[in-house]
Amino acid sequence: MSNLNISAAMTAAVEPVLAASSVTEFTVDITINSTDDATYSYTPLWIDSITISQDFADTFADRLTLEYTAAPDDYIQMFNNSKGLMVALRIVYVNSQTQQRVFTPPPIARMYKAMLMDPQDLLKKYTTGSLMPSASMPLVEQHLSTRIPVKLALIEAAAYTLRQQQFHCIYQQATIASVIAHIIQSFSITQLYLVPPDNTMTWTHIIIPPAQNISEIFDYIHTTYGIYMKGIEWYYTNGILYLYPGYENNPSIKYTADIYNVPEGNYAGLLSYHQLNTASNNIGIVSTTKVNTTDISRPAAENTASNYSFVRASSIIDNFTTTTATGTFIKNNNALTVGTPVNRTMSDHASNPRYTEATDNIFLESSKLAKMNAVLIECGWNNAIPFALYPGHNVKYHYDQDGTFTYQQGMLERVVYHFDRKRKNAVGNVYAGTAQINLRANSDVTSAVQTLSI
């Protein structure tokens, strides 16, 4: 294995990952049914490609895209049942050397609600005889060769159901944690991964207005009352709802990943670029692709704000000021400033303070700063495996800086997997592919947001 322009420490870190020879290929089996017609069932000969988009920062559930071709009569039946399409997906890994199925990692089986994309009513475009055999048109070569492109968009069936539910409630003497627990129960979510809220105060009333669904209710709570000091993200996948601070560059989630960036051209042609350790909830990934990085913290400090100052809304009417012999002043505990401990403006002696409207929601003001205090990193993963990374995944991004092996601490924001059919063997159609990974990392030694009285 070549290791051009790589430090000895980086080489020592990545070679055990590469030597693991982890499985990277798998078979895919899907069965399509309809909730509207119990007699309808269809299994494609094969799937040409699968794309799995897990955008933890901007959506709340997985989005899959399947692409394949179907015979005209199969497409027409699917079109006629398109309202209630369900897809059962099963993935089983394959040993690349023996070409046999293996069960470590375990198989993946999930149920999805499916939507037929760009649907075509073929019978309005063509005669039946030109598409398939009929009483007036016997089987001809054209019938066998005609294939219709199919694209299915999938969303986890349980996530689709969640999106249709709405909720409202008025709580008395409640904490944010207790409100979240009740909401989860009301939505019939049985598994929750929750980072404990930073907002621990007991509220006299917490009001959730009508018609709030799972895709907006937590954002409403954070905007109105505050949940975390560093933003709010929620994501539902494989039956689990993850709720965590979305701008935390040093997350406390149990899942960890070590991504090693090596220059392009190194370790080319290997079957595996990762090592999965389920016992420690860790995955090591060697990224040999082009990397894009953007430090958004300095432009944000200059153009948006380096800190925010505001007064407590609840104190404006009573006890807002104090009068002494020298004058009248705002009480210290009624005026607050939130800022980052490291000045990110272009000059250490410069600052860009902004005054916001009166509020008691320090969590929201702090989140505005935390959002922009990061380096955004995009890298690739060759021969990736699906669903290996999790919402809020704790990531260490390792790299060589002027020959010194170092890392930045960060959090996964999104991952997009793409897999293509490679071949067919005795166990079925075999797939492999890549992943594009986006994460946010510390812009400094620390990206903590601190609160200061003024």
Q: Which residue has the tokens 């990277």?
A: 24
Peptide bond into 105 cis (omega under 30): yes
Residue 58 sits at the vertex; the CA angle it makes with 49 and 296, to the nearest 5 degrees, is 110
> Where does the pLDDT of residue 360 fall: very low under 50, low under 70, confident under 90, or very high at 90 and above?
confident
CATH class of 23-158: mainly beta
Q: Flag whether pLDDT at 326 surpasses 80.
A: no
Confidence (pLDDT) at 445: 39
Strands (E), 117-246: 148-156, 167-174, 191-194, 203-212, 233-237, 240-244
Confidence (pLDDT) at 450: 33
> Where does the pLDDT of residue 302 fall: very low under 50, low under 70, confident under 90, or very high at 90 and above?
low
> 155-193 pLDDT, tens per residue?
999 999 998 999 999 999 999 999 999 999 999 999 999
> Where does the pLDDT of residue 454 fall: very low under 50, low under 70, confident under 90, or very high at 90 and above?
very low
Confidence (pLDDT) at 15: 95
CA distance 348 to 191: 46
For residues 253 and 330, the model is more confident at: 253
Tell me which residue of 162, 153, 172, 179 sits closest to 216, measured CA to CA. 162
Strands (E), 108-221: 108-116, 148-156, 167-174, 191-194, 203-212
Q: Flag whether pLDDT at 320 surpasses 50.
A: no
Q: What is the dihedral of CA 94, 96, 98, 102, to 10 degrees?
A: -20
Of 3-12, 260-269, 361-370, 375-384, highest mean pLDDT = 375-384
- The mean-pLDDT minimum among 73-87, 122-136, 439-453 falls in 439-453
- Tell me how crowded residue 72 is: count the other CB atoms within 10 A of its CB: 18
Confidence (pLDDT) at 331: 47
CA distance 352 to 355: 10
Q: What is the pTM of this model?
A: 0.86
Confidence (pLDDT) at 129: 56
**Can you say how many angstroms the Cα of residue 426 is from the centroid of all Cα atoms in its chain?**
35
CA distance 191 to 240: 5
Confidence (pLDDT) at 140: 47
Confidence (pLDDT) at 265: 85
Amino acid making up residue 216: E
Q: Where are the domains of the chain?
A: 23-158, 297-373
Confidence (pLDDT) at 372: 83
Average pLDDT along the chain: 85
Query: Once rounded to an integer, what is the mean pLDDT over residues 210-226?
Result: 93
Confidence (pLDDT) at 443: 78
Q: Flag whether pLDDT at 143 surpasses 50.
A: no
In contact, 85 and 114? CB cutoff 8 Å: yes
